[in-house]
């Protein structure tokens, strides 16, 4: 274990100081384990908002390095989010990770042009406060649009097409039994 | 051991008596007959209960679904991007094929709303908002979200919620299997109205947890990394919950943190061998670049 920590530390020291592609942030308080196994020794605890480097991923685990506090080890994957740290976000070091990103815009990974052609098309409707489309009130009062449903029918896939699509994407179907609640 | 060996002769004796002189109560044929009668009675009882609780035919289920999804499309139309819509249908259909209801007319769509949400309607109709789609990083995450919705259809969560919400009299005169009858049509209309309200109030929390838990298994069956849904929930959890875009989704689902904790605990170690499943990030982002 010690050798491994040293190797990891050396890697970190050799890499540029400003976080690269493998940076991440602890989004939920995380216990750090020595192995990717909850039965292994717990070596540290990281608060939400802690900045980390992510080295690898195995199953539901991520191997991380944290400078402050200094520690290396494995955390559950969902406790650490990959991506670039938002220095201007509010309340980054709070005990609760929620809202550490100031809004949706900072999370949107695609250029807004992805859907730009649609914006003008639907913005002619009634002025809305807050979210366009699908506020609670809009869901309750909307008139069914059957022409739009027919359009949806037109895009439908089928057994053959879906199989071809899966094959193209290297997807192989397997037998996986359903799991019940917590162990 | 000693107690057993003492008991043994007694048991043997009792068995011999029963064998040698069967009383009517021990007649196997009689017992069979009685059992059959009981079964018949429970069967007719079951039928009555099913009718009373509203066993909706597949045709009716699809009709309800088409109406409900049309309502959502009335609030937010499909995003005008045919390659994207076909792509989402391919991912969704492939995942749905791994469920027990592969024969349904599965339809998927991205609708033009900033709100972060996804909806399912009976019969296999599923939409995801542009707001949620834009948060996704790869195909496995899309598959995870669609799988969650597919479970709602597969387990008939909306139908069951409707069955509970309507009064018993409602179901007693709903004929099973006919969609053409005028009275039935009125009843279907009532059901659809109740279904619309359901989108604003949400399903039972245990149904949402089940959709998470079964959803990751469906994704794994389809060859995707099942942990991708956890990543989506992690992203959602890191958004300011007071944002307008989050309102309806958070109101109609259990707290995201609670979903994460439960799902992670249930998955822990059990799906690790499928974590090497595909994410198909390249295919996902090339779709965006192709525009």
Q: How many CB pairs under 8 A join A and B?
A: 278
Would you say residue B201 lies in a domain? yes
Whole-number Å distance between alpha carbons of B270 and A39? 14
Would you say residue A88 lies in a domain? no
> Is A84 in a helix, a strand, or coil?
coil
Would you say residue B263 lies in a domain? yes
CA-only gyration radius of chain A, Å: 23
Whole-number Å distance between alpha carbons of B124 and B142? 17
Q: Which residue has the higher pLDDT, B201 or B175?
A: B201
Would you say residue B215 lies in a domain? yes
Mean pLDDT, residues B197-219 taken together: 95
Residues of A in contact with B271 (CB under 8 A): 59-60, 176, 179
Closest CA to B150 of B125, B129, B116: B125
Poorest-pLDDT segment among A79-88, B17-26, B221-230: B17-26
Overall number of domains in chain A: 1
- Which range of residues forms the domain containing residue A72? 2-82
Q: Which residues contact B9 (CB under 8 A, 6 or more apart)?
A: none
Would you say residue A73 lies in a domain? yes
Residues of A in contact with B283 (CB under 8 A): 169
Q: What is the mean pLDDT of each run of 10 residues along chain A (183 residues)?
A: 56 48 86 91 93 88 93 91 55 38 40 37 39 80 94 98 98 93 54
Whole-number Å distance between alpha carbons of B119 and A139? 11
Of chain A residues 100-159, which have a CB less than 8 A from chain B?
A: 100-104, 107-111, 113-115, 117-118, 121-122, 130-136, 138-140, 142-146, 148-149, 151-153, 155-159
Residue B7's pLDDT band, with cuts at 50, 70 and 90, is low
Supply the CATH number for residue A58's domain: 2.30.30.40
Residue B112's pLDDT band, with cuts at 50, 70 and 90, is very high
Give the model's pLDDT for residue B255. Answer: 92
Give the model's pLDDT for residue A11. Answer: 53
In the structure encoding, which two tokens stand for residue B232, read together? Answer: 């989506």
**Contact with chain B for residue A167, Cβ under 8 A:** no
- Which range of residues forms the domain containing residue B152? 51-282
Q: Which residues contact A1 (CB under 8 A, 6 or more apart)?
A: A34
| Residue of B77, B242, B248 lying closest to A145 (CB–CB) | B77
Mean pLDDT, residues B113-123 taken together: 95
Overall number of domains in chain B: 1
Question: Looking at CA atoms only, how far is residue A152 from chain B in angstroms?
Answer: 7
Instruction: Specify the pTM.
Output: 0.75
Would you say residue A129 lies in a domain? no
Would you say residue A45 lies in a domain? yes
Whole-number Å distance between alpha carbons of B218 and B96? 8
Give the model's pLDDT for residue A90. Answer: 40
Would you say residue B211 lies in a domain? yes
pLDDT tens per residue across span B41-82? 777 666 555 555 557 889 989 999 999 999 999 999 999 999
| Largest distance between two CA atoms of chain B | 86
Would you say residue A150 lies in a domain? no
Find, in chain B, the residue whose alpha carbon is nearest to that of A99. Answer: B240
In the structure encoding, which two tokens stand for residue B284, read together? Answer: 């996902």
Would you say residue A171 lies in a domain? no
Would you say residue A159 lies in a domain? no
Q: What is the ipTM of this complex?
A: 0.79
A122/B72 touch (CB, cutoff 8 Å), yes or no: no
Would you say residue B59 lies in a domain? yes
Q: What number of other Cβ atoms are within 10 A of residue A2's Cβ?
A: 6
Mean pLDDT, residues B136-151 taken together: 97
Would you say residue A23 lies in a domain? yes
Poorest-pLDDT segment among B20-34, B69-83, B149-163: B20-34
């Amino acid at each position: 274990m010690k050798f491994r920590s040293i190797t990891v530390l050396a890697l970190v020291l050799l890499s540029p100081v400003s976080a690269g592609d493998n940076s991440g942030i602890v989004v939920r308080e995380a216990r750090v384990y020595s192995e990717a196994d909850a039965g292994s020794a717990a070596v540290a605890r990281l608060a939400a908002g802690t900045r980390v480097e992510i080295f690898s991923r195995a199953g539901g685990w991520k191997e991380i390095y944290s400078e402050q506090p200094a520690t290396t080890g494995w955390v559950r994957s969902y406790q650490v989010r990959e991506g670039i740290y938002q220095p201007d976000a509010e309340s980054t070091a709070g005990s609760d990770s929620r809202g550490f990103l100031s809004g949706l815009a900072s999370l949107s990974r695609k250029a807004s042009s992805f859907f730009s052609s649609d914006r003008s098309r639907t913005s002619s409707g009634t002025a809305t406060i807050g979210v366009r489309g699908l506020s609670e009130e809009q869901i309750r009062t909307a008139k069914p649009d059957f022409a739009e449903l027919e359009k949806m029918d037109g895009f439908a896939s089928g057994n053959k097409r879906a199989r071809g699509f899966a094959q193209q994407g290297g997807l192989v179907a397997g037998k996986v039994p359903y799991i019940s609640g917590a162990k | 051991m000693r107690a057993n060996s003492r008991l043994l002769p007694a048991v043997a004796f009792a068995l011999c008596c029963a064998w040698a002189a069967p009383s009517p109560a021990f007649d196997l044929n009689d017992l069979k007959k009685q059992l059959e009668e009981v079964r018949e009675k429970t069967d007719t009882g079951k039928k009555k209960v099913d009718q009373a609780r509203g066993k909706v035919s597949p045709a009716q289920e699809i009709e309800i679904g088409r109406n409900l999804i049309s309502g959502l499309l009335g609030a937010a139309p499909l995003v005008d991007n045919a390659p994207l819509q076909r792509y989402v249908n391919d991912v969704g259909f492939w995942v749905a094929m791994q469920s027990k209801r592969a024969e349904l007319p599965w339809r998927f769509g991205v609708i033009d709303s900033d709100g972060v949400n996804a909806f399912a309607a009976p019969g296999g109709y599923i939409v995801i908002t542009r707001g949620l789609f834009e948060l996704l990083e790869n195909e496995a995450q899309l598959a995870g979200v669609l799988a969650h919705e597919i479970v709602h259809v597969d387990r008939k969560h909306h139908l069951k919620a409707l069955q509970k919400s309507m009064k018993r009299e409602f179901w007693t005169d709903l004929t099973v299997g006919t969609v053409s009858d005028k009275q039935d049509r009125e009843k279907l209309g009532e059901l659809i109205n109740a279904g619309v309200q359901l989108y604003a109030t949400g399903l039972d929390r245990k149904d949402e947890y089940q959709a998470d838990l079964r959803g990751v298994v469906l994704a794994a069956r389809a060859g995707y990394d099942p942990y991708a849904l956890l990543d989506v929930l992690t992203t959602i959890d890191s958004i300011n919950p007071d944002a307008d875009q989050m309102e309806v989704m958070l109101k109609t689902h259990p707290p995201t943190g609670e979903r994460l904790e439960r799902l992670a605990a249930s998955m822990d170690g059990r799906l690790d061998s499928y974590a090497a499943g595909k994410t198909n990030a390249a295919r996902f982002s090339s779709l965006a670049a192709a525009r």
